């Protein structure tokens, strides 16, 4: 419909990132220092400085996006720069190392940086993929409305089960209590409920199905028996008989059907709601890696710089 | 029979002030009040409500105190003043008729008593008296017609009569702690707001809520019960199945109020028009067309408390034969500073009426009121008064000198460079006022020019109450709309035939203006609202285009002499100017220019339509958005859900830049094909929120934003009137969360969080809504804060154009 952060200003930041990367590669290829390329040559320092500057700029994104009144570019532009310059970092930082890796603080900083960029890449993927799925799954119903609808279906189901008989009531109650919405981080990411609750629900439905079958099968027989009982009943028993006849099997069958329908609708809704929770979790989970890793990167980067200058 | 010099009807601010002043002067008087207490309208405000004293600049000259404050303080102070002045007030005295004239009036009360008076001052407001049941037992002590606090009752059986919002809200409030029966004369709750009628239906269906409804039932009678039972009475209902008897503790009837107009007319007072907003004409001394009968306060068109109190004072002075300089004279003198001789207010008023024909037919009082709400400018030669595409909607009258109107876009080379001079007495700016759209021309001041700029609201009030003003404004609009949209360069004479055939047609949202296949016999110039153009394609109606006010439709059939090629429907409540085909064709024959212009539009539309017909998806989006009321929007927030990561930074940005209160609810609102319409102000062409704002605090500024200024009194009318639910009541705070504190220590609120105000800032709620961040550079914060570019604010036209190009 319109411009996203990836296509912002006709890929301005992609073009800038490509230009910077190409420049870095060219300088690196052209430069032939004694002892081979490494971080200590002037090209190495240049690339290192450039990389550090980019990292600081990318970190500043977290500040800029919370400065709501700020006029320093749009947040979309900042995110666009964040993504493309972040990707360019892979090349710039790798060239800065001169492909010298080891078990030291320098390589830790490099590794952290790669981890941050990779988690960010997942973020870009998630941002492009899940919003559309989310809208499709919601079909215009908000999670709040889904939750309310589930609540109302549950209430109806319990009331109906209560009118069927005590054992049904118990089973439905237990089944409803078992099924979870949302849950811990892992449950949210999985987007489903524990297998246990799936099974409990399947059992309930199977039980209801079974009950219905038996009822339908013995419908005529029961009807006859009930009718006989009512005929035989004393007048003082008429009241009870009236109640029994009201709860006659035909109606019972209809109630069980309705109950199954309610439970089925509820289960679908719970699935959709969990799916929605999963989408939201997938959209956010990576930030719990991306942000702490970048803080760690900042620390490691500082240590790297201090170490380099201390041992100069 | 008692005889007084003045009988004052109604103890509102105006009546009280008049009565106290009469008492102060020792003039024999009586104040008749139908309620058992003073100032019933204010008395009925909710407990603790803050009452404002607008306009702040106007001095108070009443014998009783009035300052902005809580309802209780004000009422107590007034009661005190009534006692101190030994005012002769009679409560529970409902006046049923007023007959006679100056020197000999007879007022008949509901209990049959009569009062004779030489003069009558009518200050009964516009709220009307609460409608009673009109059945036996309607005045029993447990029958009431209002409910201040639903929580005051518990464990009672309460019958609520009525099906409107008040009845529903009362019933739902009471049912928390009582058994409630609601009695509805009809079989559904159609009179109430959707939310209310849904809530009541749900409560009726819910077995756990002790609420029952008698549909198609009316009250037959109410009897007191003294059988030792707990119940205070028995209600007999006429239901569709016969009579039903219900023992009750309490009955609350919420069946509306009787508008006072019929009563006022029965006293012989004339209203200038049938508009519901019309007020009776009164002289500068507040005298109506019935000699000796004076009208003051809201009924005379002055809804503000302070104005009404001043009038109460003044009217007694006038009756006593004294001249008073009205309280607003010093204010007017200030306004007139730019006019030579403006010091002499009466003379300047006369000069204005003499020079500006539009203002000639109005009364002195109306003129004063109108000018109080206006500004007088003396712009330097060449100064721009407003620009093309500005969003202001004030109207200007030329008191002296000349201005130059330059229609069309100055940057568009296709617009012909014409300019129309306007001279003394003429007015301009009415196009935006009527269409609700941006200015269609730039206006530049000439030499020695003095103009009066008046607000949209005061002119509309004038148009509703004075037929002459309305006619002048509308005729001029018609002519200028045709001149600017269809036939530039044609003189008034050239257009007289077409204008003569022009009629105004009104359409409700969804109505058909004309249908595909009809014979085309007219051109429809849209003067307010907007329409959609659709065509039947493959058995379905596909929307091809959206046409806003200011443009016209129906030219295709006239140019090509063929039946209508498409169906045109009103997208929102729409008014068109219908120009008859024959007269229009003649105009085209006489003026090849006009023909060429119309043909150009025709060709452009034809290609557009053909393009659109191949892209049904964008047509569907247009119809979806039109259903959401976007048709009346000027700038709407849309979210592309394929990009929206649901981070809610838009809401945070809004709260952060607006005192911790977000005016945007991202999640709410419908979605179609990834286009989501969140709950956020659309800055309607004719803002519903502006309708009943007592302090006139809602404005639109030149860039189009509709905003609420600081004079908001928190009455909540705009919140109720907004059909899109985008106004909320909130308290802004000056607190600013610190980003670094939060970032580094995790203490304090995150920037963008919804904040509660500090104690000393108070918690008085005001209406808040989107103001498009008019005080920030760079445009709406919500859009600028969106990291992915999902949020955008656009005018519907721009959006429809965009969606047309895209797929």
Q: What is the pLDDT of residues B318-338, one digit of tens each?
A: 999 998 888 888 889 999 998
Cα separation, B673 vs B676, whole angstroms:
8
Shortest CA gap B452–chain A (Å): 37
For residues B541 and B707, what is the distance between their CA atoms, to the nearest angstrom? 37
Which residue in B645, B656, B787 is closest to A68 by CB distance? Answer: B656
In which residue ranges of chain B is pLDDT below 70? 46-48, 54, 193-195, 276-277, 414-417, 615-619, 803-807
Shortest Cα distance, chain A CAs vs residue B636, angstroms = 15
Query: Is-contact B33 B11, C-beta < 8 A?
Result: yes
**Which residues are registered as beta bridge partners of B90?**
B32
Most confident of A152-156, A293-297, B140-144, B272-276: A293-297
Residues whose CB falls within 8 Å of the CB of residue B638, separated by 6 or more in sequence, listed in order:
B675, B676, B677, B791, B792, B793, B794, B799
Tokens 């010099």 sit on residue: B5
Q: Does residue A288 register a pLDDT over 90?
A: yes
d(CA B294, CA B301): 13
Over residues B164-201, the pLDDT tens digits come to: 888 888 898 899 889 999 999 888 887 776 667 878 88
Q: Which residues contact A20 (CB under 8 A, 6 or more apart)?
A: A50, A85, A88, A92
Q: Is A75 touching B (CB cutoff 8 A)?
A: yes
Strands B636-640 and B791-794: antiparallel
Phi-psi region of B500 (alpha: psi -120 to 50; beta: other; left: phi over 0): alpha
At residue B377, the 3 state secondary structure works out as strand
Signed CA dihedral, B718, B666, B735, A78: sign only: negative
Neighbours of B619 (CB within 10 A): 26
Contacts of A79 in chain B (CB under 8 A): 787-788
Which residues in chain A are contacts of B656 at CB distance < 8 A? 68-69
Residue B158: strand pairing partners: B180, B250
* Model confidence band, residue A194 (pLDDT cutoffs 50, 70, 90): low
How much is the CA Rg of chain A, to the nearest whole Å? 33
Q: Which residues of B touch A131 (CB under 8 A)?
A: 641-646, 790
Nearest CA distance, A74 vs chain B (angstrom): 5
- Do A69 and B657 make contact, defined as CB atoms within 8 angstroms? yes
Chain B closest-CA separation from residue A181 CA (Å): 20
Pair B686, B707: CB distance under 8 Å: no
Q: What is the pLDDT of residues A218-239, one digit of tens each?
A: 666 766 666 666 565 544 444 4
Contact: A66, B750; criterion CB under 8 Å: yes
> Of B660, B801, B795, which Cα lies nearest the Cα of B735?
B660
Long-range own/partner contacts, residues B623-627 (CB < 8 A, 24 or more apart): B623/B532, B623/B534, B623/B543, B624/B670, B624/B672, B624/B673, B624/B675, B625/B672, B625/B675, B625/B677, B625/B796, B625/B799, B625/B800, B626/B532, B626/B543, B626/B546, B626/B571
Angstroms from A45 CA to nearest CA on chain B: 30
pLDDT at A42 over 60: yes
What does the pLDDT read at residue A231?
A: 61
Q: How confident is the model at residue A14 (pLDDT cuts 50, 70, 90)?
A: very high
CA-based nearest residue in chain A for residue B792:
A2
Q: For residues B257 and B128, give the distance between their C-alpha atoms in angstroms, rounded to a whole number.
A: 6
| B250-253 vs B143-144, strand pairing mode | parallel
Contact B785 A75 (CB under 8 A): yes
Most B-contacting residue of A63, A69, A277, A282 (CB-CB within 10 A), to test interface: A69
Q: Which residues of B129-142 are buried (b: 16+ CB within 10 A; e: fewer)?
A: bbeebebebeeeeb
- The mean pLDDT value for A7-30 works out to 94
Measure B309 CA to nearest chain A CA, in Å.
Answer: 45
Residues in chain A within 8 Å Cβ distance of B653: 68
Residues of A in contact with B751 (CB under 8 A): 66-68
Q: Which two tokens mark B163?
A: 């099906």
Number of residues that make up chain B:
807
Question: Average pLDDT in the A252-278 region?
Answer: 87
Whether residue A104 lies within 8 A of chain B, CB to CB, comes out as no
Structure tokens at A213: 């079958």
Higher pLDDT, A250 or B534: B534
- Note whether B652 contacts A127, CB cutoff 8 Å: no
Sign of dihedral through CA atoms B569, B571, B573, B576?
Answer: negative
Chain B CB within 8 Å of residue A136 CB: no
Residues B625 and B631: beta-carbon distance below 8 Å: yes
Q: List C-alpha distances in Å: B24 to B14, B59, B75, B300.
A: 15, 20, 20, 24
- Written as six digits, the tokens of A102 are 């080891």
The CA–CA distances, whole Å, from B179 to B174, B213, B365 equal 8, 11, 52
Closest CA to B579 of B610, B601, B558: B558
Q: What is the largest CA-CA distance in chain B?
A: 92
| Secondary structure of residue B224 in the 3-state scheme | strand
List the one residue out of B356, B98, B124, B82 whose CA is nearest residue B257.
Answer: B124
- For chain B, the C-alpha Rg in angstroms (whole number) is 30
| B-interface mutation test, from A6, A68, A76, A294, most B Cβ less than 10 A away | A68
The residue-averaged pLDDT of A208-225 equals 72
Q: Which of B202, B643, B661, B807 to mutate to test the interface with A (most CBs of A within 10 A)?
A: B643
Name the interface residues of B facing A (CB cutoff 8 Å).
640-646, 649, 652-653, 656-657, 667-668, 670-671, 674-676, 739, 743, 750-752, 776-778, 781, 783-790, 792, 802-803, 806
Contact B106, B100 (CB under 8 A): yes
Q: What is the least distance, in Å, from the CA of B787 to any CA of chain A?
A: 4
Task: State the virtual CA torsion across A253, A255, A259, A260 in degrees, nearest 10.
Answer: 20
Helices (H) and strands (E) counted in chain A, each on its own, are 12, 0
pLDDT of residue B81: 93
Identity of the residue in B644, B667, B781 whose CB atom sits nearest the CB atom of A68: B781
Burial of B747 (0-12, 13-18, 19+ CB in 10 A): exposed
The whole-angstrom distance between A59's CA and the closest CA on chain B is 12
| pLDDT given for residue B805 in this prediction | 57
Which segments of B508-633 does DSSP mark as H helices, in order?
Answer: 555-560, 581-590, 592-613, 616-627
């Amino acid at each position: 419909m319109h411009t996203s952060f990836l296509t912002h200003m006709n890929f301005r930041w992609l073009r800038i990132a490509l230009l910077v990367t190409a420049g870095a590669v060219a300088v690196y290829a052209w430069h032939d220092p004694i002892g081979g390329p490494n971080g200590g040559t002037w090209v190495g320092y240049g690339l290192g400085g450039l990389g550090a500057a980019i990292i600081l700029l990318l970190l500043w994104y977290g500040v800029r996006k919370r400065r709501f009144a700020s006029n320093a570019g749009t947040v979309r532009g900042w995110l666009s720069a964040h993504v493309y310059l972040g990707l360019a970092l892979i090349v710039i930082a790798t060239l800065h190392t001169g492909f010298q890796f080891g078990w030291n603080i320098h390589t830790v900083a490099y590794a952290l940086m790669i981890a941050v960029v990779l988690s960010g890449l997942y973020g870009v993927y998630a941002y492009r993929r899940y919003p559309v799925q989310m809208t499709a799954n919601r079909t215009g119903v908000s999670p709040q409305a889904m939750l309310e609808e589930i609540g109302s279906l549950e209430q109806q189901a319990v009331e109906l089960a209560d009118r069927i008989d005590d054992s049904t009531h118990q089973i439905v109650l237990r089944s409803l209590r078992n099924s979870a919405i949302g849950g811990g981080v892992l449950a949210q990411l999985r987007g489903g409920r524990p297998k246990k609750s799936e099974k409990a629900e399947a059992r309930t439905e199977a039980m209801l199905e079974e009950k219905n079958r038996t009822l339908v099968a013995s419908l005529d027989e029961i009807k006859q028996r009930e009718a006989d009982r009512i005929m035989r009943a004393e007048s003082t028993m008429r009241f009870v008989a009236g109640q029994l006849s009201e709860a006659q099997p035909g109606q019972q069958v209809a109630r069980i059907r309705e109950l199954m329908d309610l439970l089925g609708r509820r289960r679908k809704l719970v699935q959709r709601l969990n799916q929605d929770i999963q989408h939201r979790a997938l959209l956010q989970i990576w930030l719990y890696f991306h942000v702490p890793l970048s803080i760690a990167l900042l620390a490691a980067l500082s240590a790297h710089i201090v170490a380099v200058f201390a041992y100069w | 029979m008692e005889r007084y010099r003045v009988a004052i009807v109604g103890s509102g601010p105006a009546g009280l002030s008049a009565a106290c002043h009469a008492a102060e002067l020792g003039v024999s008087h009586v104040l008749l009040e139908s309620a058992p207490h003073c100032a019933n309208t204010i008395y009925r405000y909710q407990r603790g409500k803050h009452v404002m004293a607008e306009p702040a600049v106007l001095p108070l000259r009443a014998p009783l105190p009035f300052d902005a404050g809580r309802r209780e303080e004000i009422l107590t102070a007034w009661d005190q003043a009534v006692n101190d002045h030994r005012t002769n007030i009679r409560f529970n005295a409902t006046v049923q008729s007023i007959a006679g004239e100056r020197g000999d009036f007879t007022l008949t009360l509901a209990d049959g008593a009569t009062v004779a008076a030489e003069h009558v001052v009518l200050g009964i407001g516009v709220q009307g008296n609460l409608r009673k049941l009109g059945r036996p037992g309607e005045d029993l002590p447990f029958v009431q017609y209002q409910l201040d606090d639903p929580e005051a009752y518990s464990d009672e059986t309460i019958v609520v009569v009525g099906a409107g919002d008040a009845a529903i809200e009362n019933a739902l409030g009471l049912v928390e702690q009582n058994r409630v029966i609601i009695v509805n004369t009809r079989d559904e709750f159609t009179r109430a707001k959707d939310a209310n009628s849904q809530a009541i239906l749900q409560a009726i269906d819910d077995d756990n809520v002790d609420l029952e409804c008698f549909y198609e039932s009316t009250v037959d009678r109410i009897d007191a019960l003294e059988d030792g039972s707990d119940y205070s009475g028995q209600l007999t209902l006429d239901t569709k199945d016969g009579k039903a008897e219900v023992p009750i503790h309490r009955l609350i009837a919420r069946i509306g109020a009787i508008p006072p107009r019929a009563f006022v007319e029965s006293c012989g007072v004339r209203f200038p028009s049938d508009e519901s907003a019309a007020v009776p004409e009164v002289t500068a001394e507040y005298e109506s067309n019935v000699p000796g009968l004076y009208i003051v306060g809201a009924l005379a068109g002055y809804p503000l408390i302070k104005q009404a109190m001043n009038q109460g004072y003044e009217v007694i002075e006038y009756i006593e034969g004294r001249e008073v300089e009205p309280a607003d004279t010093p204010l007017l003198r200030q306004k007139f500073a730019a006019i030579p001789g403006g010091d002499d207010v009466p003379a300047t008023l006369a000069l204005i009426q003499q020079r500006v024909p539009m203002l000639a037919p109005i009364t002195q009082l109306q003129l004063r009121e109108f000018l109080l709400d206006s500004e007088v400018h003396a712009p330097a030669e060449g100064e721009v008064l407003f620009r093309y595409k500005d969003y202001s909607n004030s109207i200007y009258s030329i008191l002296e000198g000349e201005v130059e109107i330059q229609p069309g876009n100055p940057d568009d080379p296709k617009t012909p460079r014409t300019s129309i001079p306007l001279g003394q007495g003429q007015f301009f700016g009415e196009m935006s006022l009527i269409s609700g759209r941006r200015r269609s021309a730039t206006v530049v001041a000439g030499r020695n020019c003095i103009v009066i700029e008046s607000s949209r609201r005061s002119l509309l009030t004038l148009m509703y109450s004075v037929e002459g003003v309305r006619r002048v404004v509308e005729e001029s609009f018609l002519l200028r709309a045709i001149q600017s949209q269809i036939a530039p360069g044609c003189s008034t004479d050239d257009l007289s035939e077409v204008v003569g055939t022009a009629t105004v047609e009104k359409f409700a949202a969804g109505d058909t203006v004309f249908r595909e296949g009809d014979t085309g016999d007219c051109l429809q110039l849209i003067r307010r609202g907007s329409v959609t153009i659709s065509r039947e394609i493959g058995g379905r109606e596909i929307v091809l285009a959206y046409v806003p006010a200011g443009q016209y439709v129906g030219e295709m059939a006239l140019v090509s002499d063929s039946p209508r090629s498409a169906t045109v429907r009103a997208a929102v409540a729409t008014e068109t100017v219908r120009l008859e085909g024959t007269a229009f064709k003649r105009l085209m024959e006489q003026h090849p220019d006009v023909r060429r212009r119309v043909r150009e539009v025709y060709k452009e539309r034809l290609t557009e339509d053909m393009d659109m017909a191949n892209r049904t998806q964008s047509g569907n989006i247009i119809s979806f958005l039109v259903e959401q009321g976007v048709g009346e929007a000027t700038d709407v927030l849309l979210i592309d859900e394929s990009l929206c990561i649901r981070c809610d930074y838009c809401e945070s940005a809004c709260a952060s830049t607006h005192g911790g209160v977000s005016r945007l609810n991202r999640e709410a609102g419908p979605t179609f094909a990834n286009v989501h319409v969140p709950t956020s102000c659309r800055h309607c062409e004719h803002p519903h929120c502006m309708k009943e704002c007592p302090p006139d605090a809602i404005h639109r500024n030149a860039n189009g934003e509709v905003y609420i200024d600081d004079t908001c009194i928190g009455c909540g009318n705009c919140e109720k009137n907004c059909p899109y639910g985008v106004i909320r009541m909130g308290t802004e705070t000056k607190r600013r969360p610190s980003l670094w504190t939060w970032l580094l220590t995790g203490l304090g609120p995150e920037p963008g969080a919804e904040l509660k105000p500090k104690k000393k800032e108070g918690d008085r709620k005001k209406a808040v809504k989107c103001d498009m961040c008019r005080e920030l550079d760079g445009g709406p914060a919500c859009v600028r804060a969106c990291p992915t570019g999902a949020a955008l604010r656009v005018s519907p036209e721009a959006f429809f154009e965009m969606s047309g190009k895209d797929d």
